[in-house]
Structure 1
Amino acid sequence: MDLAGLGREFESALLQINRVKAAELFERCYVNDNSFPLLERLAIDTLERIGEGWENGTVSLSQVYMSGVICEELIEQYLPKLLVKRKIVPRMAIGVLQDHHGLGKRIVCSVLRAGGFELIDYGQGLTVEELVHRSLEDKLEVLLISTLMLPSALKVKAVKEALAEAGAETKVIVGGAPFRLDGELWKRVGADAFGDSAASVVRIIEEKTKGGAM
């Protein structure tokens, strides 16, 4: 099967918000392989390209949003067929610290859910105190923090310190423009890892799930 060609067709169907065509292509992939990893790869790679399209101005916000919705629906439909359960380990959540721009978070949520992971969406515009409180309340193993502006990114340090003071061993993975612009910033604020794309976050989570070091 020409996965690259199928991926291009799938991307086109998503950008046209064509649920019927997207479902047909997903079914073609399923019939050919009958494995979740291939469906997962198709969804994740396609959403990643669409996210990049938004960043360079060729894809609209509504297209990004609806592409994520369609992929999540398809994955939810095929998990039972393949006898695959959602990955509930590690227990994790995602939130936008201070900023109110949630597109990056939306893409990461869609890609992770397309990969079969379950996560809690805390929303955006969160304070340090809110993030820490909810993380402790939910006993998170992994907290994904998205930021848009540098002042918000710098507050990750306060989140990490507060979690440590509370005795939590929550791993903090950061993402967003400030961390892409300064490749060492995530280390300076005490984060455990930095995801420069939605797909890289999936890889980091998978490594942790397999017991790898973050």
Structure 2
Amino acid sequence: MSMTSMVVLGLSIATVLLLLGAFLATMRQDRKGRASTPPAAVEVAPIETPLPAPVSVSPGHAGSDYTDPRTIRVGDRIAVLGSPARVLGAMHISWQGHQWIEFLLRTASRRVQWLSVEVLQGEPPQLEVLLWNDVPTQGMVPAKSMLIMEGVEFFPIERGTAAFRSEGDTGTPDRGLLDFADYRASDGRLLSFERIQGSAWTASYAEPLPPGSISIVRRAS
């Protein structure tokens, strides 16, 4: 082999080795970059509360496949989320043209709860049904700004004084005035303070009920 051929062969081998080295270096760089890239954060979907059901303004037309809670009467035996309860009484409340009903229930375990039923104005109107659970307030009064209840921040959304009339066993006068203050947390939770004028404040959390959560087991005689 001539000297020129040996030089050309040597240069070719050197070029191949340089290209191979560059390729391997690039691969190492790419792997290092992927390994050091932090994984994308996993987004957690917020807890969604049931939406109110579209209804007509007239009671009895909430839907063909579930009971209209507006047809509940004092003395009825009903089931809420499958759990039996008796309707002890009702408060019919009116405030600035808005009207809603709060039913006092006694469950099979002798627990007492309030169930509120209200038609929210809109197109179409929406039926909102809330089951309320007492909160120990320990002498708290509703603030006009943000308040913290059990470590959760609640912000005011509505407050006022409503007129009411009661029927059945509610533990309230036949007629009177009801002060209320409603709050909402950033996660959608509802908190409400209420008091019959002259009485102490009580507070409750609201649990929105989806359509079909209530059924009437037996009507009052």
TM-score computed with the length of structure 2 as normaliser: 0.24
- Specify which structure has the higher proportion of strand: 2
Larger-Rg structure: 2
- Relative contact order, higher structure (CA 8 A, sep 6+): 2
Higher helix share: 1
TM-score (norm 1): 0.25
